[in-house]
Structure 1
Amino acid sequence: MSKPIFVLLHGAWHTPRCWDKLVAELDKASYESVAPALPSSGSVPPTPDWSADVDLIRGTVSDLVEKGRDVIVVMHSFSGMTGGTALDGLDKDSRGSKELKGGVVRLIYVVAFLVPEGFQHSPHGTRDNMVSEMKTDLEAGIITVEQEDVKGMFYQDLDDNTVAELTKDLQPQSFGAFWSTTTHAAWRHIPTTYIICNADKPSTVMAAQYLVDTAKASTSHKIDNVIKVDAGHSPFISKPQWTASTLIEEAGKGV
């Protein structure tokens, strides 16, 4: 049986380059990965909502499962919402019931939004529920993070020089993406791992735990493992070897 392939979904403001260290570690272990560039981050003009992200995620995963591949979808931060809503019908069981090969066999949320159907981060036209570090420009349709806030938001456990280099790659994020609404909760249908990073912003750690607890208390879920690690918001950068070995171990449970 061939190994599953990882689809890596970056968070807001980021690009696929944030996964480079992790991809290198997965390559060493002979695991393939795909890291699409999600349009809501850096598009000019900014996207009006997150539908382009959802379409790209669904298209990327569909292409793989139609080739009979088993897929692990890894979501970071914001992409938990788009990834969670894009996978309806692409899970292994749904495809198997139609005698189709391939499918998504596991989800891995890395301090990501694990939310139910009908979830909207912020009401349309507002910046409600956005932290102070998110600098909003309604006229331009973008949200940015100032250089002095980057470490505290994303890279708490990285040295200042590394943070400065990573900051150069950050992109304006579409405002409208935060006004979109989820239509599917893939974690109800696909075995799910959640990674909580204890060195993240304390408020983010609390929010992540709340999301997991709320999902587990809901009517149905397939969350079967919660992992806590002493790392900041981006362990795939600060601890790429640990992240790769953890992803590979979790992937083995879904094959």
Structure 2
Amino acid sequence: MSTLVLVHGFWHGAWCWNEVVPHVVAGGRLTVAVDMAGHGLYARRPRWSTEQPYNPEAVGTEVSPVADVTLDDAAELLTSQIKRIGGGEPVTVVAHSAAGPVLTRTAQRTPELVAHAVYLTAYMPASGVSAAAYTRLPEAADDRVAPLLQGDPAAIGALRLDFATDDAVYRQGLREAFYGDVDPVLADAATGLLTPDGPIGVMLGATTLTRDGWGSVPRTYIVCTRDMAIRPGLQAKFVAEADAAFPDNPTSVVTLDASHSPFLSKPGELADLLIPLG
């Protein structure tokens, strides 16, 4: 079977798959986790996040050091990673959350490199629609992430979270949004590894989808039924739109009774779902 390439969502890094990888490898599947553009080893932290004393005003006004990262940039990086990992052979790519539009752009441009596209409670935007557009829909109205965002994304160039604050209510909001079913000690450790800025360009880019591009790639959507960041209703909308556009290549759907971060709360169960794909 093809190698699994795991791509994290906004604010996270390849580290978030650490609990999943051993399960997948034990199941006989090669797997590699990579960093997305603007994250992990490619992250650049705004000054306010490390400077002392803490300056709450700067949180909402400082222009992000990853403001220039676009969807094209993220897709080009992912393409180079899967070429290197697969040695030119197709791989199965698992995209979480905001990595979804990056996978979509990559699969549209180079469908021969993607054996299977797996969306783990991820944005899977329709043709010509940005991921950001979905955040304004009724299906996203009660998500827990939007109230946590700091500053004007258009002005600072990022979707920004404040991990430096000691506001207990805000920090509890972070846990509820991302790690509702994760052990609190593990959730605190994960929060300490997050980076503040997700480049807005990734969410604003849109991809025109074609039947012989993205529409030709087998795809699976893993619905997380307790997700408070990308609500189940919005996840269902992604699938419905994809199937309406490409009915000859319907989306395979599986469900997981988990929050937005099953790689931390249910790594074994998630691995069991991923191992047979592609």
TM-score normalized with structure 1 length: 0.82
Instruction: Name the CA shift for 1:151/1:189 in 2 (closer, same or farther; >3 Å).
Output: same
Which residue does 2:263 correspond to in 1? 236
Give yes or no for contact 1:4–1:72 (8 Å, CA) kept in 2: yes
Give the counterpart of 1:154 among 178, 182, 188: 178
Structure 1 segments unaligned to the other structure (5+ residues): 93-102
Structure 2 counterpart of 1:116, one-letter code: A
Q: Is the aligned partner of 1:6 residue 2:4?
A: yes
SS in 2 for 1:21: coil
1:59 to 48, 55, 80: 80
Structure 1 residue aligned with 2:122:
112
**Is the 2:183–2:265 contact (alpha carbons within 8 Å) kept by the matching residues of 1?**
no
Q: Say which SS state the counterpart of residue 147 (structure 2) adopts.
A: coil
Find out whether 1:170 has 2:171 as its counterpart. Answer: no
The alpha-carbon deviation at position 219 of structure 1 amounts to 4.4
User: How far did 1:250 drift?
Assistant: 2.2
Contact 2:220 2:253 in 1 (8 A): yes
2:19 to 18, 21, 28: 21
Structure 1 match to 2:62? none
Assess, with a 3 A threshold, how the Cα gap between structure 1 residues 173 and 196 changes in structure 2: closer, same or farther: same
Alignment partner, residue 179 of structure 1: 204
- Tell me the TM-score normalized by structure 2: 0.75
- Give the 3 Å change call, closer, same or farther, for CA 208–224 of structure 1 in structure 2: closer
Q: CA deviation at 1:243?
A: 1.0
Taking only the aligned residue pairs, the percentage that are identical comes to 25
Per mean C-alpha deviation after superposition, the further-off stretch among 199-208 and 105-114 is: 199-208
Distance between the aligned counterparts of 1:184 and 1:63, measured in 2? 25
**Aligned equivalents of 2:23, 2:127: Cα separation in 1:** 34
Question: Over aligned residue pairs, what C-alpha RMSD do you find?
Answer: 2.5
User: CA offset at residue 89 of structure 1?
Assistant: 5.0
Out of 148, 151, 155, the residue aligned to residue 136 of structure 1 is 151
Indicate the larger mover: 159-168 or 128-137: 128-137
What is residue 97 of structure 1 aligned with on the other side? none
In 2, Cα distance between equivalents of 1:37 and 1:68: 19
CA deviation vs aligned residue, 1:47-102 (integer Å, no higher than 9, x gap):
4223221111111123344x35341110101111011111235334xxxxxxxxxx
Q: Gaps spanning 5+ residues in structure 2: where?
A: 46-64, 138-144, 163-170
SS of the counterpart of 1:227?
strand
2: distance between equivalents of 1:156 and 1:85? 30
Contact 1:196 1:227 in 2 (8 A): yes
Does the 8 Å CA contact 2:98/2:123 hold for their aligned counterparts? yes
Q: Distance in 2 between matches of 1:108 and 1:86?
A: 13
Partners of 2:151 and 2:4 lie apart in 1 by 33
AA aligned to 2:26 is: K
Aligned-partner Cα distance in 2 for 1:203–1:25:
25
Does the aligned pair in 2 maintain the 1:108–1:195 contact within 8 Å? yes
Match of residue 37 from structure 1: 35
Query: Would the alpha carbon gap of residues 9 and 32 (structure 1) be closer, same or farther in structure 2, given more than 3 Å must change?
Result: same
Q: Secondary structure at the match of 2:176?
A: helix
Match runs of 1:64-103 below 5 Å:
64-65=85-86, 67-88=87-108, 90-92=110-112, 103=113
Checking the alignment, whether the CA contact within 8 Å between 1:40 and 1:50 is kept in structure 2 is no
SS at match of 1:34: strand
Deviations 1:11-37 (A, max 9, x none): 011111001111121122232222221
